[in-house]
Structure 1
């Protein structure tokens, strides 16, 4: 296994909608092993956390500062945050959206298939489903995911893993609104 190297950087928190994020500086992002999602262990202002760093669609990455970490750090829009992150071999389980969780529950024949996927592959399915604001497209993606999983597909196809796919933060596959 390749040696993992910690990456240190400082970034400014930015509030986009109700989400607080920090974009990684170019050199910190370039030090990560992928232009797509990367599971990391790290510390923000000395406070330990584990997360998945997201791609920004411009060959870089960003970190979401969740409500719990935000409260612990006492940071807000415009505040500087010092990070030390290291790629992790352990991917956390993705939070399944309610509609996809229900579809999987209605497909008990896929239980073993879903469990056999790597956590990284499960993140890709969730990302693909979540990557739209259109309710009809989302419903179709949930349905197609079940069909593809039944057909033995391990990952969604035709999906740019280096794009920013969070519909609250992305525009045309790129992190929007970042100053």
Structure 2
């Protein structure tokens, strides 16, 4: 896996997700060769163009060693593309990862746990994103609540990374591209 210092160019097909029904967004899966040029198998933020329309987005791991991109309606329309079209992309990893949006329940828990908040403030944006993803990937509200409490305990004790979190989705199958609609 050699990070690219030149633009990564490829073509991919725009797909409609099976769920949620009637979604306005589409997605595409990067070809393995294009994905291999990115700096990591996990989430990575890129600047790019889709059929000439500029965007900045965070690519998600597809659980198969590649990445997928959620293409919002505005970007798809700016590119003049439709579901089923093969589009041309050019992407480059950003020089500095963006700060993730901290969910309100986690923000409140950190505010109530000064030691955890202090450790949180020392983390990189990528590490914070991993914690947020681990917390929000729980399917049930009880799981999310437990993970927030556990995260605050682990952070307060000095941990910097979420325990046992597979950033690529390849081993836990916790991450993956949406299923395309038929």
**Greater RCO between the two (CA within 8 Å, min separation 6)?**
2
Q: 2:144 aligns with which of 138, 145, 153?
A: 138
Moved more, 150-159 or 41-50: 41-50
Provide Cα deviations, 1:51-102, integer angstroms capped at 9, x if missing partner.
2211101011101123543453354432332211112221111122222122
The size of the alignment, in residue pairs, is: 173
Moved more, 57-66 or 9-18: 9-18
The residue that corresponds to 1:14 in the other structure is 15
Are 1:175 and 2:181 an aligned pair?
Answer: no
List alignment gaps of at least 5 residues for structure 1.
Answer: 165-169
Moved more, 84-93 or 107-116: 107-116
Secondary structure of the structure 2 residue equivalent to 1:159: coil
Matched-pair contact (CA < 8 Å) for 1:100–1:142:
yes
Secondary structure of the structure 2 residue equivalent to 1:126: helix
Moved more, 2-11 or 65-74: 65-74
List alignment gaps of at least 5 residues for structure 2.
Answer: none
Higher Rg: 2
CA RMSD across the alignment: 2.4
Looking at structure 2, the residues matched to 144 and 67 of structure 1 have their Cα atoms a distance apart, in angstroms, of 37
The residue that corresponds to 2:159 in the other structure is 153
Q: 1:99 aligns with which of 77, 82, 105?
A: 105
Looking at structure 1, the residues matched to 82 and 4 of structure 2 have their Cα atoms a distance apart, in angstroms, of 34
Query: TM-score, normalized by length of structure 1?
Result: 0.83
Secondary structure of the structure 2 residue equivalent to 1:78: coil
Matched-pair contact (CA < 8 Å) for 2:97–2:126:
yes
Matched-pair contact (CA < 8 Å) for 1:39–1:53:
yes
Matched-pair contact (CA < 8 Å) for 2:45–2:58:
yes
Provide Cα deviations, 1:133-166, integer angstroms capped at 9, x if missing partner.
12211111111111111111111010111117xx
- From the two aligned structures, give the one with the greater strand fraction: 1
